[in-house]
Amino acid sequence: MESPLTGRKDKMLQVKAGKFPNNDARKSHGRYWLIGLLFFHTVNTFMDRACISSAAGTMQNDLGINNDMMGYIFGVFAIGYALFQIPAGWLADVLGPRKVLGWVVSLWSMFTMLTAAAFNVFSLVLIRFLFGVGEAGAFPGATRAMYNWVPAKERGIAQGLFHSGARVGAAFSLLLMPFLISLVGWRLTFVLNGILGIVWVSLWLSWFRNDPEDHPQVNASELSYIRKGLTEGRTSSARVPFALIVTSGNMLLAMFQYIASNITFFISFTWLQPYLIGQWGSSAAIYAPIPLIFGMFAHWISGALVTFLYGKGFHVNSRRLPALTGFIIGALGLMLTTQMGGAGPLKFILCFSIAVFGVELTLSPSWSFCMDVGGKNSGAVSGAMNMLGNLGSAFSAIIFPRFVAHVTLPYFAEETGTANSFFVFAATINVLAAVAWLFMNPKKAISDSVSPRQVKIRLILFIIAAVLLVGGLLTYKIFFLK
């Protein structure tokens, strides 16, 4: 019987020689199984995250929690999630995504189940903060896993399919969780969600290997294809230290445009349903999942477009064109939404869904961009972008009700009480994000002629600024916003 070590040695010899046995001439599909496994990973991520929104009313009644305190509980998740993005990504880079994703999914699944044991507001605050810390590693860890397994030409479709799972999970939760809570209660619902995460960890640890070379289901032909694709996609930035990459103009623009997309998209998770009910009554709430469905299709289309353009040799434009198109569609959709106030909830939600479709087109190129420039630092680099993206999420949640209540604009929002002024603001940010993509280039070299002391100072200043921005905004949202 052939030992795993011998099989691995033979596989590498075949890769180096470029000659494969007849049964290895056709590539195996191990990388596709990885993408499928990560798709269900992100479905589980957003099911666990959305569960508390559906259970909030029942939990408040059982635990005696008022609306202000429930806001604190929602907010501490965001603080834990945002502040631990870079550390979680760094751990995935250093220790490998197999171990780190196994840890973090186990951690947040445990705290999902422990939510069922909450007995007062303080226990719930602690549990949800630690839940956010665990979920911080979900996307950076998965991105690091894909960097090892997915060649550059397929990164777009891989990221598109992976991120679409979040929209599937969120939409599924909006439909399933209320029914499940009414059937078994909120406590058992959290336990069942946590168990799903543990099942996923079991599959992950039994199947995944950090290096496809070590996986028995990856034949020499597929391994050669992956290795060649990683070499072709490697940029000069991929060999530059993390501190220089993350503080470069390239990445600062990437962070800004990711903030911009989240300003529009995360209204779907926060204020959209209350706004629909406030404007058109409780019957309008049924339309709330529609933007998430549009977002799911946007991920698939964008991922396919990124992959197609890269395969045709348009390496830079495979990232730039889908993102530019997405932000322009997003801006136009938002401006259309401002004209739908008197047209009824369905027309309103369809126009807003066009805007969401647009900004969701930008996610596949954004995360592929992080893999391009981050290289073996992809976990930490994508974590930095996602951390700042959460600034956009928190910012939109804070300013949306302020715009509705206080901000007017000639023609678009001549009276308060509508979100039109916010939509105009978000459209403007989308246009600026489109401009940012004109200057973003994953092939652009980053100078490494910077002294170690300057590198350290730049990284420290970046981390301080990011922590102050995210922490300050979320703290204001939780403790001072009424």
Distance CA 112, CA 194 (A): 5
Both tokens of residue 341?
Answer: 């106030």
- Would you state the pLDDT for residue 22? 47
Q: Between the ranges 59-73, 86-100, 460-474, where is the mean pLDDT highest? A: 86-100
Distance CA 54, CA 57 (A): 8
Could you tell me the pLDDT band of residue 333, with boundaries at 50, 70 and 90?
very high
Whether residue 280 has pLDDT greater than 70: yes
174 vs 124, which has greater pLDDT? Answer: 124
Both tokens of residue 390?
Answer: 């959460």
Structure confidence by residue, pLDDT tens digits, 266-279: 888 777 887 888 88
| Structural contact between residues 200 and 407, judged by C-beta atoms closer than 8 angstroms | no
| Structural contact between residues 318 and 156, judged by C-beta atoms closer than 8 angstroms | yes
- Would you state the pLDDT for residue 482? 54
What is the DSSP secondary-structure string of 102-116?
Answer: HHHHHHHHHHHHHGG
Distance CA 395, CA 384 (A): 17
Could you tell me the pLDDT band of residue 15, with boundaries at 50, 70 and 90?
low
- Ordered by where they begin, the domains of the chain are 29-480 (1.20.1250.20)
The conformation of residue 479, written as its DSSP 8-state character, comes to I
Taking residues 385-400, report their average pLDDT: 79
The conformation of residue 81, written as its DSSP 8-state character, comes to H
- Would you state the pLDDT for residue 12? 54
367 vs 400, which has greater pLDDT? Answer: 367
Alpha-carbon dihedral angle through residues 255, 259, 261, 264, given to the nearest 10 degrees: 180
350 vs 50, which has greater pLDDT? Answer: 350
DSSP lists the bridge partners of residue 413 as: 409
Structure confidence by residue, pLDDT tens digits, 404-463: 888 888 888 778 888 899 999 999 999 999 999 999 988 876 666 667 777 778 778 877
Could you tell me the pLDDT band of residue 387, with boundaries at 50, 70 and 90?
confident
Taking residues 228-253, report their average pLDDT: 71
- Would you state the pLDDT for residue 199? 96
Distance CA 448, CA 455 (A): 9
**pTM of the predicted model, to two decimals?**
0.80
Q: What is the mean pLDDT of the chain?
A: 84
- Would you state the pLDDT for residue 14? 54
% pLDDT > 70, the chain? 88
175 vs 349, which has greater pLDDT? Answer: 349
Both tokens of residue 300?
Answer: 């698939």
Three-state DSSP class for residue 221: helix
User: For residue 282, how many other CB atoms are within 10 A of its CB?
Assistant: 10
- Would you state the pLDDT for residue 1? 42
Whether residue 397 has pLDDT greater than 50: yes
Whether residue 251 has pLDDT greater than 70: yes
The dihedral region occupied by 215, where left means phi > 0, alpha psi between -120 and 50, and beta the remainder, is: beta
Three-state DSSP class for residue 447: coil
Three-state DSSP class for residue 409: strand
* 107-111, 210-214, 337-341, 399-403: segment of lowest average pLDDT: 399-403
| Structural contact between residues 416 and 346, judged by C-beta atoms closer than 8 angstroms | no
Biggest CA-to-CA distance, the chain: 78
